[in-house]
Amino acid sequence: MTVILGIETSCDETAAAVVVDGRTILSNIVASQIELHRQYGGVFPEMASREHVKALLPVVTAAVQEADVDWDELDAVAVTAGPGLAGSLLVGVNAAKGLAFWRGLPLVGVNHLEGHIYSNWIETEGNRPEKVFPVLVLIVSGGHTELVLMRDHGRYQRLGGTIDDAAGEAFDKVARLLALGYPGGPAIQHAAREGNPRAFDLPRAWLPGTHDFSFSGLKTAVLRQVQQYEGQDASTSRRLTPGRSLPPELVADLAASFQEAVVDVLVAKTCAAAEQFSATEICVCGGVAANAHLRAAFLQQAPVPVSIPPLYLCTDNAVMIAAAGHYRYRAGYRSRLDLDVVANLPLAADNKTVQEMQV
Ligand code: KG4
Ligand code: ZN
């Protein structure tokens, strides 16, 4: 049995969790900074790091207390080393080093994307943690849209990803265009409930012959609709704040049509890749996996079983970092105390992307 303390500070959530054997949650504490960043319409990096500094120790203490474990019962400290905001990552990594050094515990650096992937291995109601490889993974978050073939624990083959905006980023930008606020994903989903998904025939970038995605053309198409309604010409759009005067029915129709276009492409391309690579299962993860329409479409259309974590494990959390840390720990990976953060850390095929040694 391994008991891992996970720490996550890559963006705007300060999180800590204790997880047994990579699947059983003993505690899950998340301090969200959403309210703070809402006034800026997005994450303000400087403020995010400062908030992490303030929140981290109380969050870690609460995670250990709620798990009802003694520090001596922990086997390792797992922490997100990238990708993410460098200043935010540093807060978690430095704290994890301090805790590991203080308690004489192994330190395990984890890739945030690998964390999202392992949210599908957590024991929750309706989830099947036992999986047969290869598994096809779609990571859809605020910063990433990646299609990955997972051949074994820690073995990832990147098939493709977005060539411009991430899916979550597109939700956030379109929400801003429609004056729906931040974070955009939940706001669009909410507005779309009253809208007609076929009201606007928005473009879908199929990028045939690739496993890549593109969402910037779709975002521009929404902007054009907003401008058309507001009578602006494209060249003046940057000086004006679009979306403020749109009628609610138009906002709902644009939100629903946009959401439909994103979901159509994500689901169709993921299902096609699952068939092409004979995956036994599709695992969807990341903040956008919280989207109700995306979840329903996958469950309806997928040619193989689909695993999507419950909402609280889709958005950033430390349970998934502890879970990914468990598999790295089990495979013998230990990070050195000079572990550094890497803002654009890729999900590497050989799983050796952070300074570490195999013991
Ligand atoms: O995984 P996450 O919490 O953070 C990153 O690692 O980026 O993902 C955050 C992203 C945001 O872009 C947010 O708008 C999006 O996930 N999101 C959603 C929904 N809930 C969160 N997008 C669509 N529908 C949702 N219900
Ligand atoms: Zn994330």
Residues 107 and 226 in one domain: no
Residues 15 and 54 in one domain: yes
Could you give the strand order of the β-sheet that contains 145-152, starting from the edge strand earlier in sequence? 155-161, 145-152, 135-140, 281-285, 306-307
Using the atom order of ligand 1, give the atom closest to the CA of residue 116.
Answer: 1
What is residue 162's DSSP assignment? Answer: B
Q: Is the CB of 186 under 6 A from ligand 1?
A: yes
Percent of the chain clearing pLDDT 90 (strictly above) = 82
Q: Is the CB of 171 under 6 A from ligand 1?
A: yes
Q: Is the CB of 309 under 6 A from ligand 1?
A: no
Residue 23 lies in a domain: yes
First to last CA, the chain: 18
**CA-CA distance, 154 to 331, in Å (whole number)?**
9
The domain that holds 351 is classified in CATH as 3.30.420.40
**CA-CA distance, 251 to 158, in Å (whole number)?**
36
Ligand nearest the Cα of residue 289 is: 1
For residues 186 and 315, the answer to whether their CB atoms sit within 8 Å is no
**CA-CA distance, 240 to 238, in Å (whole number)?**
6
**CA-CA distance, 133 to 152, in Å (whole number)?**
6
Residue 130 lies in a domain: no
Q: Is the CB of 183 under 6 A from ligand 1?
A: yes
**CA-CA distance, 234 to 102, in Å (whole number)?**
58
Provide mean pLDDT across the span 18-43: 88
Q: Locate all alpha helices (DSSP H) within 14-145, ordered by sequence.
A: 34-38, 45-67, 86-103, 112-118
Which residue among 141, 266, 312, 345 has the greatest number of ligand 1 atoms within 8 angstroms of its CB, and so is best to mutate?
141
Provide mean pLDDT across the span 67-72: 96
Q: Considering only residues 42 and 355, tell me which one the structure prediction assigns the higher pLDDT.
A: 42
**CA-CA distance, 127 to 148, in Å (whole number)?**
20
Q: Is the CB of 298 under 6 A from ligand 1?
A: no
Query: pLDDT for 106-124, tens place per residue?
Result: 999 999 999 999 999 999 8
Query: What are 98's two structure tokens?
Result: 């301090």
> What is the reported pLDDT for 239?
46
For residues 202 and 258, the answer to whether their CB atoms sit within 8 Å is yes
> What is the reported pLDDT for 130?
81
Residues 140 and 256 in one domain: yes
CA-closest residue to ligand 1 atom 8:
287
> What is the reported pLDDT for 181?
86
Q: Is the CB of 145 under 6 A from ligand 1?
A: no
Provide mean pLDDT across the span 189-203: 98
Ligand nearest the Cα of residue 141 is: 1
Residue 248 lies in a domain: yes
Q: How many domains does the chain have?
A: 2
Q: Residue 346 burial (CB < 10 Å; 0-12/13-18/19+)?
A: middle
Instruction: Check whether 349 has a pLDDT greater than 80.
Output: no
> What is the reported pLDDT for 87?
94
User: What is the per-residue DSSP string for 204-256?
Assistant: ----TTSS-B--HHHHHHHHHHHHHHHT--GGGGGGS-TTTT--HHHHHHHHH
CA of 173 to the centre of ligand 1 (A): 12
Residue 43 lies in a domain: yes
Residues 88 and 166 in one domain: no
Q: Which domain holds residue 67?
A: 3-125+313-358
Percent of the chain clearing pLDDT 70 (strictly above) = 93
